[in-house]
Structure 1
């Protein structure tokens, strides 16, 4: 997408809430990997998808600065809850600060640690929706850990599944992130437990429905 087209889209969708605009600005000033932030377009999409699905419980893998979590929380009803996992403990204070500033922050429970250790702890719990946006090398592992905890008819969203277009390029031997995304896409395409479609939004967003 070229800059002019992106500007046109952003000027013709719902405005980015002030808090999220500030978080995005701060992220570009303070963080190195600013592309990890959801941003205006994807944020409004995540909120709307949440409103469409109307989940009660959402699981998010990969909080980063909390932008996407706040978009999900915005789309949740008052009794809805979002459980979000972030492995980088240095981000915890910043994330909690962002949640505290939001009127939707009370719907969010933050876990700091390895998702592959934390997810099994939700023993008898189920979720209506999940969002995968963490270590690309582990995408399929996250998916397999999540599927049993998603109710029948529930949804999983996987971010970055076009991975800067690298999915159609020759992969370097040491490019483990691209290999992880390719492995996820290939295995998911033939997985009969779910229905799936890749949306060419931003860096690719795969919408998955558990049968």
Structure 2
């Protein structure tokens, strides 16, 4: 959901860094070949993720929810030399398109793909992460967060996507709306968690930044 007028959204995008050609191609192929293409990160938010990664300069990144790989490439742009991205997605059918664009991006040797349940995979990873990006099953956000924070370094940043959920977080909650309820509880948990400093940004569908104390 766009919370700003389309004309202002366009102005903001037009006055931010251009979308790299490889990501333009990935976005087009996603819309042509993949179900639910609106799930892709997209130009403006991709540039936000890229900028955050460049400011943080992480050595190790954990991404929960790869989809077709757009956000992983954006995050990889900010890696320290010889840094690594571990990205996890449950959909094995997306593996080949991810790998195709990872390799074309020039970061292919730095991006490690994992296919399966993130809650099973994360505990098996031996690395400690400087940056975590959560963008997968919304009802499991708190579980992802709790699993990931155990693998972070002091000062690490955890980014959570879609935390405004098309504005539903401020609308009357339907009795059967399990996803919005989960996000409401998750947002409160991040705000109250003494282990992190938390800032919710109104970028696209909402991004929360948590800095591990």
Q: With structure 1 as the length reference, what TM-score do the two structures score?
A: 0.96
Q: 2:81, 2:155 → 1: CA distance?
A: 22
- The residue aligned with 1:98 is 101
Where do 4+ consecutive residues of structure 1 move more than 6 Å? none
- Note if contact 2:88-2:115 (Cα within 8 Å) is conserved in structure 1: yes
- The residue aligned with 1:111 is 114
Identify which range, 165-174 or 49-58, moves more after superposition: 165-174
Pick one of 22, 33, 36 that aligns with 2:36: 33
- Residues 1:76 and 2:104 aligned together: no
Match of 2:77, SS state, is: helix
Instruction: Give unmatched runs, 5+ long, in structure 2.
Output: none
Q: 2:200, 2:156 → 1: CA distance?
A: 17
- Note if contact 2:86-2:114 (Cα within 8 Å) is conserved in structure 1: yes
Cα deviation for residue 106 of structure 1 reads 1.7
- Note if contact 1:73-1:105 (Cα within 8 Å) is conserved in structure 2: no
Q: 2:26, 2:153 → 1: CA distance?
A: 32
Q: What does 1:113-152 correspond to in 2, within 5 Å?
A: 113-122=116-125, 124-152=126-154
Q: 1:137, 1:81 → 2: CA distance?
A: 27
Q: What do the CA deviations read for 1:137-172 (whole angstroms, capped 9, x no partner)? A: 000000110111111111100000111000001122
Q: 1:6, 1:102 → 2: CA distance?
A: 27
Note the aligned Cα RMSD (angstroms): 1.1
- Residues 1:5 and 2:16 aligned together: no
Match of 2:112, SS state, is: strand
Q: What do the CA deviations read for 1:51-76 (whole angstroms, capped 9, x no partner)? A: 11111000000000000000011121
Q: What does 1:36-55 correspond to in 2, within 5 Å?
A: 36-55=39-58
Instruction: Give unmatched runs, 5+ long, in structure 1.
Output: none
Task: State how many pairs are aligned.
Answer: 210
Q: 2:194, 2:175 → 1: CA distance?
A: 30
Identify which range, 161-170 or 74-83, moves more after superposition: 74-83
Q: 2:193, 2:107 → 1: CA distance?
A: 35
Q: With structure 2 as the length reference, what TM-score do the two structures score?
A: 0.95
- The residue aligned with 1:185 is 187
Q: 2:201, 2:42 → 1: CA distance?
A: 16
Cα deviation for residue 78 of structure 1 reads 2.6
Cα deviation for residue 174 of structure 1 reads 2.2
